[in-house]
Amino acid sequence: MSVRIGKGRALGVISFTPLVDVVFLLLIFFLVATRFEEEEREMDATLPQASEARPLTSKPQELIVNIDRQGAYVVRRVTYTSEALERLLRQAAVNNPGRQAVKIRADEQCHWKYVVEVMNLCNRVGIRDYSPVVAPGT
């Protein structure tokens, strides 16, 4: 017994005219908005100079956490305990909210649990941009 499948007529009923109208209006809107932005930049103005200004888009310095074979945490040549490292990471997160980066450099002979501990500390203090660093392969 053969099965008859009725073809739908939904696409035959849809009118694409309103869709074309909306796309055309969006195109006009963006063309006009772009033109207004250009006119704002063309205005002649002498801007004041700031002697101590720093760009807002500067990337914060990365914090590099080194882990030796025994599992000691070393940052800027200072050895930290897990609690002290958490305080350091928390302060770095406060100083650069949402933008602090942490690189984790672990000795290949150290246990993975120390790397995971640093990742947990980063998550606990709100640092989401962390990554382990490995040597490039040959």
Instruction: Report the C-alpha gap between 57 and 59 in whole angstroms.
Output: 6
| Residue 3 CA neighbour count, 13 Å, CB half | 2
What pLDDT was estimated at residue 43? Answer: 52
Averaged pLDDT of the chain: 81
pLDDT score at 18: 87
Q: Tokens 């002290």 label which residue?
A: 84
Global pTM reads 0.56
Residues contacting residue 133 through CB under 8 Å, at least 6 positions apart: 64, 103, 104, 105
Taking only the tens of pLDDT, the chain with its 138 residues reads 677 766 666 556 677 788 899 999 999 888 877 766 555 555 555 556 666 666 666 566 789 999 988 999 999 989 999 999 999 999 999 988 878 999 999 988 888 899 999 999 999 999 999 998 887 754
Task: Pull the structure tokens for residue 21.
Answer: 């109208």
* pLDDT attached to residue 102: 94
